[in-house]
Structure 1
Amino acid sequence: MKWLNFGVPLILWLPCFLATFNPYKYSLELLKQEPFSGSYTKNEEAYVEELWIDQKIDHFDEDNNQTWKMRYFRNARYHKPQGPIYIFVGGEWTISPGLMSTGLTHDMAVENSGMLFYTEHRYYGLSLPFGKESFQIDHLKQLNLHQSLADLAHFIRHQKSENPEMQDSKVILVGGSYSGSLVAWMTQLYPDLIAASWASSAPLLAKADFYEYMEVVTRSIELSYGGNCSLRIEKGLKYLVKLFDDNQIQNVLYKFNGCKDYNPEDALDRAAFFNGLGNYFALVVQSYSAYIPRLCETIMSLDSNDEVAFLKFLELLYSEGRRSSDCQDFGYSSMLELFIEDTDQSTGTRAWFYQTCNEFGWYTTTKSKSTSSETFANQVPLSYFETLCQDTFGAEQTAQKLADGVEQTNSKFGGYGFNQSERYAQVIFTHGQLDPWGVLGRQTGQQAIVLTGYSHVEDLASIRITDSVQMNLAQLRVMSFLRSHL
């Protein structure tokens, strides 16, 4: 991650060699990046293997014998016969070998003579069931939660049956963010295969209208720096709304070389602009929370007037690093193009959007019927995301289909009802106080830990003296909990 000298992350403008520049692409991709990639150390390199396993396209159709190859990494350096199996479960990202040589999961494998695996989720990275055609609508139908969990079940059974030294090994699952949800749900569906699991920053409740996310973003900025920064951002956003309402926003966008066909009177174009801007602040809070003070210092230093300062900040945000000849497309079409491309999707953007449209929702609205608050200018309704789903995946991708998918996910796995399931006694949950995803996860009870001053999946790293005492103790508690199930 590169940073400008005034402390703002350089993410929205890196690849800028096109006549039309998409200002939404890179913040959206980084919001679903690998939660903890670690650093690949040379002394471990010889022990880390990239391997493949055959998986069924459809685990639940006995007449369908089609298979595909799922990628995974293995580090057997510290393993002793019948030692535990540690599996870091991949989510909506391309897996990398760094987790095989660093991080708390790696450290537990070292301590307990364990075998270490890292699995790649179907339809992400190089694990593409239909190759380059995987992202066509007909093929995406095999991308769902139940097939992904069945992939994991087959992976575990295969490793035990094919490797006598692991036949009696107990299995520990670890995951972060969505993959944290997977390990919790996997433990519920396949308790006979799993000894214990650790779910870091895992949302458990599927929810279409996830308005709380941006509320937590605002609160976390306030907690990290103070109310004057979050208030300035809110005032700046409201000023932008006024500029839209008064048909003056084009004068501002022209300063950033906005494309001339942007229509501020179009509801979708307007929602896309505020959604894209919200994603920037969401990324800083979710993935780079240590830089919130630097971000706020920049915003607070630009001018004594809230509105002027915020516009100057936007000018820095949208102008730095971009060629002056590139017009920036702030319209709805610019957001839609990130999901609609079905040939080159190495980033997993389309695949993840398909999952959210069909099973989870998790849309970061700021205009909800469920709350009276006016978080982030109250400009991004659920209908905007529902339209994106339908425009991306076709007429049958209706708002009702989204609602039904969310309901089915919660009905199957219990949503907030996890407290009623004895099977969750095998799972320990951790959340960062600043993490916007925390409101959909388990934050209370004996097996839940909330980390003050931290955000998303920050506890997956190795124990470090630079972290707080609370963080160190929490990580030791996680290790102790998982060890107790071996």
Structure 2
Amino acid sequence: MAIGFAFLWFFFFTLLSCSVSIAKIGPAFPSSLIRPEQLSQLATKNQLYETVYFTQILDHFNFNPQSYHTFQQRYLINDSFWGGAHKNAPIFVYTGNEGDIEWFAQNTGFMFETAPDFKALLVFIEHRFYGKSMPFGGNKDIAYTNASTLGYLSSTQALADYATLITDLKRNLTATESPVIVFGGSYGGMLAAWFRLKYPHITIGALASSSPILHFLNVTSPYSFNNIISHDFRSESESCYKVIKGSWQQIEDTANQQGGLDVLRKSFRICKNADVSFLESWLHTALTYTAMTDYPTPSNFLNPLPAYPVKQMCKAIDDPSTGNDTFAKLYGAANIYYNSSGSATCFQIDDNSDPHGLSGWGWQACTEMIMPTGGNTEESIFPASEWHYEDRASSCKYMFDIEPRPNWITTEFGGKDIYRALKRFGSNIIFFNGLRDPWSGGGVLKNISKSIVAIVANEGAHHVDLRFSSKEDTEWLKDVRKQEVNIIKTWISEYYSDSEYFPS
């Protein structure tokens, strides 16, 4: 049985240093897929959620004829826990990420598990240009034609979509007094935080999990991301760290020898010979995703993983039965990520499929989401390299014939000054970050005010708090979720109290 490897173009943020080669721009971020038995426990009589479509305007910020074109935006709704409009029961909204919204709805067990206690309505809104929320007649080929059509794909347009849809939904449900809390993880967490800042009259608070809102040019170091990955592996085993660090040169040296690609193919059980860059990306992705998803419990993300997968990778690398065979050690580590079932006989590492519909991120990563992550110091487990904005810009020019706007996001939402600004201006945001998550380097890691709170878990990985709970959850993870629930309860209580004094 051969197993394919999807590069997941720009799934979240660029991980590898840019070049004109699209493959080198790299993969990005996974999200969890919950187990079927968890779905069935929480499902309503018929299904987990109902699918609804909303007629959304194409351009919220102009008034030319093209702006008034519309498209069908998908959202998912579950009212089985809702206390009803007559009780002003809350509405929990997930601000959709860069992919199919059903994927994210099935990832966010925290919302389903807390909704009964809050008697909350659940809504998951799909991001424009992803999944089935495709402008231009729902035709992806047309929507992705060029910069003229993709120009309507941006974070600010998405936020305006959410504001419009939520307002219309509340009106249709006669629930204009129901408080709204927004939730999101990763890019969705960034959107949740930004939504609270841009539309405080629509949402009373936001839970932004693993949202690197500071991971932008001249704010966060381009070396931060890979430094954290390196620390994750080094903290488990110095010998494991050294094997990975030294392996890249061995791979290059072998590839340059006569018959070397065949040696690599056999060593890593690759189905057919491929350029060495594919092998390096394949290994890079396994190490990166494993660090991001280094959870204390088994998970089933893009690939099933055991609890503490970084530790398991290092155990495979340090296995004495592999002796001094670096490739055997690396293969054992990659097997943790790509072949937990043990059923794969070979790997198809040049499979560029996009099973979750994430290709729109390429445009976003080339226009406004310029997030430097590809730098490597001499201490990195990856080859030492510098990150240069010029490389990203030339790649984007090659792919889309556009110039990035690297400072737009920090101009629109704030950058270095965000702590000082939000201390006086903002309120009611929870920023969760796990320090084993490479993206935590661009996260908010300290409290900004009494109501803009940073919850930081030393052992936490990427948006672990939003996952479904498990009997194997650690005490620190239970405590994180308890803190989040208590803070949200305070927001809602304050809203109801304020409503008595300031009736609409």
TM-score (norm 2): 0.77
Give the letter aligned to residue 409 of structure 1: I
Match of 1:236 in 2: 247
Give the letter aligned to residue 485 of structure 1: W
Match of 1:355 in 2: 364
Alignment of 1:454-469 (within 5 A): 454-469=460-475
Match of 1:298 in 2: 316
Match of 1:75 in 2: 78
1:185 to 1:159, Cα distance in 2 relative to 1, 3 A? same
Structure with the higher helix share, 1 or 2 = 1
Offset at residue 236 of structure 1 (A): 1.7
Structure 1, residues 227-252: CA drift from partner, whole Å, max 9, x if none? 22122211222433454677885454
Offset at residue 455 of structure 1 (A): 0.5
Alignment of 1:44-443 (within 5 A): 44-46=44-46, 48-63=49-64, 64-80=67-83, 81=85, 82-96=88-102, 99=105, 103-130=109-136, 131-132=138-139, 133-137=142-146, 138-164=148-174, 166-207=175-216, 210-223=222-235, 225-243=236-254, 250=261, 252-255=263-266, 262=275, 270=277, 274-289=280-295, 290-301=308-319, 302-305=321-324, 307=326, 309-310=328-329, 313=332, 329=350, 347-367=356-376, 373-378=379-384, 381-382=387-388, 385-393=392-400, 396-397=401-402, 401-402=403-404, 405-420=405-420, 421=422, 422-443=424-445
Partner Cα distance (1:298, 1:375) in 2: 17
8 Å CA contact retained: 2:58, 2:70: yes
8 Å CA contact retained: 1:184, 1:424: no
Structure 1, residues 327-358: CA drift from partner, whole Å, max 9, x if none? 865xxxx8xx66xxxxxx66333201111111
Give the letter aligned to residue 350 of structure 1: S
Partner Cα distance (1:169, 1:161) in 2: 10
TM-score (norm 1): 0.79
Offset at residue 222 of structure 1 (A): 2.6
3-state SS, counterpart of residue 362 of structure 1 = coil
8 Å CA contact retained: 1:214, 1:365: yes
- Stretch of structure 1 that moved more, 149-158 or 61-70: 61-70
Structure 1, residues 103-151: CA drift from partner, whole Å, max 9, x if none? 2222332112211111111111111112222222132111001100000
8 Å CA contact retained: 2:76, 2:123: yes
Unaligned stretches of 5+ in structure 2?
12-26, 296-307, 493-504
Unaligned stretches of 5+ in structure 1?
1-9, 16-22, 265-269, 339-344
Q: Which of 425, 443, 446 is the aligned partner of 1:444? A: 446
1:142 to 1:309, Cα distance in 2 relative to 1, 3 A? same
Match of 1:473 in 2: 479
1:79 to 1:61, Cα distance in 2 relative to 1, 3 A? same
Partner Cα distance (2:407, 2:108) in 1: 38
Offset at residue 27 of structure 1 (A): 9.5
Match of 2:490 in 1: 484
1:389 to 1:277, Cα distance in 2 relative to 1, 3 A? farther
8 Å CA contact retained: 2:95, 2:124: yes
Give the letter aligned to residue 468 of structure 1: T
8 Å CA contact retained: 2:30, 2:289: no
8 Å CA contact retained: 1:284, 1:292: yes
Match of 2:299 in 1: none
8 Å CA contact retained: 1:84, 1:170: yes
3-state SS, counterpart of residue 50 of structure 2 = strand
1:253 to 1:411, Cα distance in 2 relative to 1, 3 A? same
Q: CA RMSD in A?
A: 3.3
Partner Cα distance (1:391, 1:322) in 2: 36
Partner Cα distance (2:263, 2:385) in 1: 18
1:306 to 1:380, Cα distance in 2 relative to 1, 3 A? farther
Partner Cα distance (1:238, 1:260) in 2: 19
Partner Cα distance (1:101, 1:218) in 2: 27
Match of 2:3 in 1: 14
- Stretch of structure 1 that moved more, 34-43 or 46-55: 34-43
8 Å CA contact retained: 1:123, 1:348: no
Offset at residue 68 of structure 1 (A): 0.6
- Stretch of structure 1 that moved more, 169-178 or 460-469: 460-469
Offset at residue 303 of structure 1 (A): 2.1
- Percent identity, aligned pairs only, is 22
Partner Cα distance (2:431, 2:478) in 1: 15
3-state SS, counterpart of residue 429 of structure 1 = strand
Structure 1, residues 400-449: CA drift from partner, whole Å, max 9, x if none? x33xx221111111124331214442101111121011000101126111
8 Å CA contact retained: 1:31, 1:287: no
